């Protein structure tokens, strides 16, 4: 059986990825700190589902703990490492930046050092659409410069990209960075818009609508994202001459390193998203219109041509279908009067 290490396996995306890998016959070691940034019970419930599989091994610990990741990789050969664990949240990075230094910078350093000393065929790492920062030319393309991050969270993720590139160059480590675009779906994080809005709507409380609703997001359904990740596993980047890099490919000219967008390639207006969620829940939201929040951007939109060229796949779930699946799970998990 192929073996994978998934960091952040009790997180939203890590859980869905680990479950898919297990269904495909992989053995999965899932590492998670079970941090209390949001509801720990939700994370424990995700892991409980994974632990129903004989192929899953749970490891509880923090990325930044010296020797932890290296010890896991030293035990047996791995076919892939998926580094998804991170301190997430744009707004929280303004309040608690040191948390992002520890998890996103030191933690990622531990992963890179572990893979350097215990090589794997492919290291796949999560970045974010927030790395594009102040760019206004859309859709976002991986070959665009991304130098003006708008939040400390985004800055740490862009730093992760730079760190990984240096390791890829120095130690010939095949690394793919994927920039996620507003992932949603069942088992989603309660601090993100779908969960926050659904909870408030079901409780009859107002929702905060930033920038007076004049925002757009490229909403990506979580199983579409996981499909893209699975298809990227065999497409490990290789070091090639500059004149061998295809037009539109973000492959580095000096390292086996690539950045890939994973999005739905279709920006949706925030007010349309809210209306879709209202329809799925069967209730109307009370809206509290507010100014733009610090560190936020008015729009995101992914060009997914590179993903399609590499894997033959492009995310395809329609928002109404994805939101219905999320709303059905939300009511089943939390009930009609969530705490």
The widest CA-to-CA distance across the chain, in whole angstroms, is 59
132 is an active site residue: no
Tokens linked to 4: 């994978």
Question: Which residue in this structure is represented by tokens 């479950």?
Answer: 19
For residues 85 and 275, give the distance between their C-alpha atoms in angstroms, rounded to a whole number. Answer: 32
Opening angle at CA 278, ends 274 and 281, nearest 5: 135
Residue 318 CA: distances (Å) to CA of 57, 83, 124: 34, 27, 26
Spatial distance between the Cα atoms of 188 and 195, rounded to a whole number of angstroms: 7
Of 196, 191, 187, which is closest to residue 221 (Cα–Cα)? 187
H or E stretch at 209? strand 206-209
Which one of the listed residues 153, 167, 184, 221 is annotated catalytic? 153
What gap in Å lies between CA 276 and CA 323, rounded to an integer?
7
| Dist. CA 244–CA 220, nearest whole Å | 31
Active centre residues (catalytic): 153
């Amino acid at each position: 059986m192929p073996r994978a290490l998934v960091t952040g396996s009790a997180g939203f995306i890590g859980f869905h990825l680990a479950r898919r890998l297990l269904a495909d016959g992989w053995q999965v070691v899932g590492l998670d700190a079970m941090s209390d940034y949001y509801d720990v019970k939700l994370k424990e419930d995700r892991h409980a589902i994974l632990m129903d599989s004989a192929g899953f091994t749970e490891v509880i610990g923090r990325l930044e703990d010296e020797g932890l990741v290296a010890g896991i990789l030293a035990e047996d050969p791995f076919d892939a490492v998926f580094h998804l664990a991170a301190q997430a949240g744009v707004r929280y990075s303004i309040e608690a930046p040191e948390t992002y230094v520890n998890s996103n910078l030191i933690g990622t350093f531990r992963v890179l050092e572990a893979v350097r000393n215990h090589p794997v065929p492919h290291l796949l790492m999560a970045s974010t659409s927030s790395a594009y920062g102040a760019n206004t030319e859309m859709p976002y393309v991986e070959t665009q410069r991304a130098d003006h991050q708008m939040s400390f969270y985004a800055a740490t993720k862009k730093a992760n990209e730079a760190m990984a590139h240096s390791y890829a160059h120095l130690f010939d480590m095949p690394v793919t960075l994927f920039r996620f675009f507003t992932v949603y779906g069942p088992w989603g994080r309660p601090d993100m818009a779908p969960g926050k809005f659904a909870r408030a709507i079901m409780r009859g409380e107002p929702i905060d609508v930033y920038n007076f609703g004049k925002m757009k997001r490229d909403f990506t359904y979580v199983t579409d994202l996981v499909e893209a990740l699975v298809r990227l596993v065999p497409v490990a980047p290789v070091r090639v001459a500059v004149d061998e890099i295809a037009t539109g490919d973000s492959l580095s000219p000096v390292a086996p390193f690539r950045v890939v967008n994973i999005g739905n390639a279709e920006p949706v207006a925030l007010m349309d998203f809210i209306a879709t969620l209202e329809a799925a829940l069967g209730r109307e939201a009370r809206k509290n219109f507010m100014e733009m929040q610090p560190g936020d951007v008015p729009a995101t939109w992914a060009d997914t041509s590179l993903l399609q060229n590499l894997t033959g796949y492009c995310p395809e779930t329609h928002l109404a279908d994805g939101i219905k699946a999320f709303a059905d799970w939300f009511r089943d998990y939390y009930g009609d009067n969530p705490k």
